[in-house]
Amino acid sequence: METTYEHDARGRVVRAEVAGATVRKIAYNVSGDVIRREDGGVVTTLDHDDRGFVRRGTRGATEVLLERDAAGRIVSEEQRVGGWRYRVDRAFNEKGWATAKRYSTGWQVQMGRGPSSAIESITLESAAGVERILREVDARGQETARVREGGYAIRTERDSMGRPIVMSLEDAEGKPVRARRYAWSQLGPLEQIIDSAAGGRTYELDVFGRPLAVRGLGAQEQLRYDPSGTPVRSGDDRVGPGGRVLRTAAAAYTWDAQGRLASREPERGSPGWTYEYDGLDALVRATRSDGLVVQYHVDAFNRRLGEVRSDGASTWFGWDDQTQIEEVSSTGASVRRVFADDELTPLLEGSAAGAWRSVVTDATATPWLMVDPTGAATGQDLGALGAVTRREGPFTALRFAGQRHDELTGLTYHRARYYAPDLGTFTTPDPLWIDASMFELAFVPNVTLWVDPLGLAVLLMSDDPTCVNGANARSRATGQRIVHYSELGNPRALAGESDLYVYGHGSPGTLHYADPGGRFTGATMSGQQLASSIRGAGFTGGNIHMTVCDGGTDPPGQPGGSIAQSVANATGATTIACVGDKMYDHPTIPGVTIAGPAGSMQPFTRRP
């Protein structure tokens, strides 16, 4: 698939033509911020305030309004489409962590935080009453216990690497009700699960840690992989260019010129589907072979706000930043959720009329148990690619981390695009403007260890083996594209990215370069210089994660002079960095880095 570009006098992309079909145009303000995009007929506008922050975004029929405090944090957000209005109001503590959230549908959440800023209590208030959940966390901030006040307890034992080895449910008297044990392979992913109520499961892995066989908890799966990383389940499966599945034992598939799933035609008489996309590759219409049409509304930040069906039914979605927090159906049914700070791990799920249930997840935020206020539990297990293999009782529509399954279409919504459990791949290429990699549709290698990062890039700022190996490990694990520092002169090197991981060496206030032999050459870069390079490479995203020693530590006598604070000030992106110590590769999880024992990861936002 070929893309051609036109640039303005400052080297910025102003026009692109994708596959000879979709034409994209971009307009900028005097500060270099994107203010308007036209993508194959879809118009997106972004209005910025005097500080450079986005305060209003529109796309199609959708509108989003943002209000910020003096530190640049979003304290109020309202999402609009048609007659749907959804508002979130947030309060923050002095460290920048959210402590309270109020939703326009009539409920609110208060988060009590401990010395490490981890959530230690959750208080929910709604028309149904007040409920309180207590949490205990370890030194890493990972949950070790969740207790419903006066009721059940969910306890987690972890190994020295922070991975769960036993998760147990206890009744109000502390008596064990159910337990699930995990055994981890030397490669990193799971090799065995033993559930006291549902039985067991074993995983056979290849040398890359990918599952070759999954047996138990309802699964009997055999897998192999084509060169693009696409999982193949039987000899009948046929995979085409770019890892696109053309046929399985159950269905035939077609793909359009932009590499997007165009149709699914089952072999055994169940309805087929065709799919239509806008100029930004967002699914906007799905049509079933019997004529039922589902239309989708997507906002300026690529979030799905609503689906409207031709039979009159509709569902509207409310968002809290990057998390789909609420669903309201035209039938009157509703679903409400509370997530951990990572915005991926669900903690609680309820409705406007009913009580809250605790959601118990595995190491990678996939729900497997739900517990109601009485301590009664329901369960569900997924296969290696996301199909439900076992279910006991009513369960959440959430699947792998960041996913919400659409029962009607069979697709799973995954923030920026959709995932197809029957294929084991995404349905559209990675939503970037640059040449896609050969793994543009591939999901994570093993869902028991990795989560999909929702479309991130890795910026490599040093050439020594430590940084290179770390960046490569993350890229292999998640499919993230690596951008070398030498590419920062390219004005589109980071264009279209929403999130950025920075790998490099640091000391308080300064980045340091090391050569391929691991020797520090004396070349340095300040946070302001890094931010200028990032912006010059086209980055307009909202999140930056720094794998840099002391990336958030202020130099002596220079409050606010850390690399992360400088980057946040110049880019407006929320920047996560380590304060007070060095950073290290996780000893068993490839591509994951952690703060040293004296440090902590903290968020930085733009300061006036």
Write out pLDDT tens, residues 213-272: 999 999 999 999 988 788 999 888 999 988 899 999 999 999 998 899 999 999 887 899
Least trusted range by pLDDT, from 98-102, 174-178, 438-442, 591-595: 438-442
Paired residues of 543 in beta bridges: 499, 574
What residues contact residue 590 under an 8 Å CB cut-off, 6+ apart?
A: 188, 473, 474, 476, 477
The span from the CA of 295 to the CA of 315, in Å, is: 11
Average pLDDT over residues 18-37: 81
Q: Is 411 exposed, middle or buried (0-12, 13-18, 19+ CB in 10 A)?
A: buried
Model confidence at 121, pLDDT cuts 50, 70, 90, reads very high
User: What does the alpha-carbon distance between residue 308 and residue 84 come to, in Å, rounded to a whole number?
Assistant: 12
- Residue 296, Cβ density class (10 Å: 0-12 exposed, 13-18 middle, ≥19 buried): buried
Whether the CB-CB separation of 301 and 44 falls below 8 Å is answered with no
Check whether 94 has a pLDDT greater than 60.
yes
Assign residue 163 a region: left if phi > 0, alpha if psi is -120 to 50, beta otherwise? beta
Q: What is the 3-state secondary structure (H, E, C) of 277-326?
A: ECCCCCEEEEEECCCCEEEEEECCCCCEEEEEECCCCEEEEEEECCEEEE
The residue count of the chain comes to 608
Specify the DSSP element, H or E, that contains 467: helix 465-478
pLDDT above 50 for 1: yes
Per DSSP, the three-state class of 374 is: coil
Q: Residue 435, exposed/middle/buried by CB under 10 A (0-12, 13-18, 19+)?
A: exposed
How confident is the model over 54-65, as a mean pLDDT? 95
- H-run or E-run covering 18: strand 13-18
Residues 6+ away with beta carbon under 8 Å from 490 = 537
pLDDT of the residue at 244: 94
CA distances from 592 to 102, 544, 587 (A): 33, 15, 9
CB burial class (10 A; 0-12, 13-18, 19+) of residue 537?
buried
68: its two tokens: 């910020």
Residue 233 CA to residue 245 CA, distance in Å, equals: 11
When pLDDT is cut at 50, 70 and 90, the band that residue 117 belongs to is confident
Q: What is the pLDDT of residue 591?
A: 62
Task: Give the lowest-confidence range in 132-141, 167-176, 342-351, 519-528.
Answer: 519-528
- Tokens representing residue 223 in the block: 């897998």
Mean per-residue pLDDT, 168-188: 95
User: Between the CA atoms of 323, 570, 460 and 401, what dihedral angle is there, to the nearest 10 degrees?
Assistant: 0
Report the pLDDT averaged over residues 45-73.
91
Statement: residue 73 has pLDDT above 80? yes
How far CA 67 is from CA of 49, 70, 73, in Å, comes to: 10, 10, 8
- Any idea which of 437-451, 473-487, 551-565 has the lowest mean pLDDT? 473-487
Contact 539, 545 (CB under 8 A): no
Lowest mean pLDDT among 81-90, 274-283, 312-321, 459-468: 459-468
Q: Which distant-in-sequence residues (6+ apart) come within 8 Å of 125 by Cβ? A: 107, 108, 109, 110
Please state the pTM of the whole predicted model.
0.77
Paired sense of beta strands 510-514 and 574-579, if any: unpaired
Q: Which amino acid is at 589?
A: I
Closest CA to 142 of 321, 325, 340, 323: 340
Cα radius of gyration rounded to whole Å, the chain = 24
When mean pLDDT is compared over 100-109, 277-286, 526-535, the highest value belongs to 100-109
**Secondary structure class of 566 (helix, strand, coil):** helix
CB atoms under 10 Å from CB of 215, counted, come to: 14
Contact 399, 391 (CB under 8 A): no
- pLDDT for the residue 455: 45
**The pLDDT of residue 139 is above 80:** yes
pLDDT, average across residues 195-215: 94
Q: Which residue has the higher pLDDT, 408 or 52?
A: 408
* DSSP state for residue 241 in the 8-state scheme: G
| pLDDT exceeds 70 at position 422 | yes
Taking only the tens place, the pLDDT of each residue in 432-455 is 433 333 357 878 788 998 776 554
- The neighbour count for residue 56, using CB atoms within 10 Å, is 15
| Whether residue 277 has pLDDT greater than 60 | yes
What is the tens place of the pLDDT at every residue in 33-44? 889 989 888 899
What are the backbone dihedrals phi and psi of residue 6, each rounded to the nearest 5 degrees, phi first? Answer: -120, 145
**Which CATH superfamily groups domain 456-604?**
MARTX cysteine protease (CPD) domain (3.40.50.11050)
Point out the least confidently predicted range of 313-322, 453-462, 480-489. Answer: 453-462
Q: Above pLDDT 90, what percent of the chain? A: 53
| Helix/strand/coil for 50 | coil
Quick: pLDDT tens for 319-370: 998 899 999 999 999 999 999 988 889 999 999 888 899 999 999 899 999 9
Residue range 14-38: mean pLDDT, rounded? 82
Q: Look-up: residue for tokens 């159950």? A: 250
Give pLDDT, residue 435.
Answer: 35
Average pLDDT over residues 593-608: 81
Question: Which pLDDT value is given to residue 54?
Answer: 87
Question: Two tokens at 292?
Answer: 């039922």
Query: Is 186 exposed, middle or buried, given 0-12, 13-18 or 19+ CB atoms closer than 10 A?
Result: exposed
SS3 assignment, position 562: coil
Query: In this model, does residue 12 exceed pLDDT 80?
Result: no
User: What are 48's strand-pairing partners?
Assistant: 54
pLDDT at position 247 is 95
- What is the model's pLDDT at position 260? 94
**Cβ–Cβ < 8 Å for 513, 520:** yes
What does DSSP say about strands 543-548 and 499-507: parallel, antiparallel, or unpaired?
A: parallel
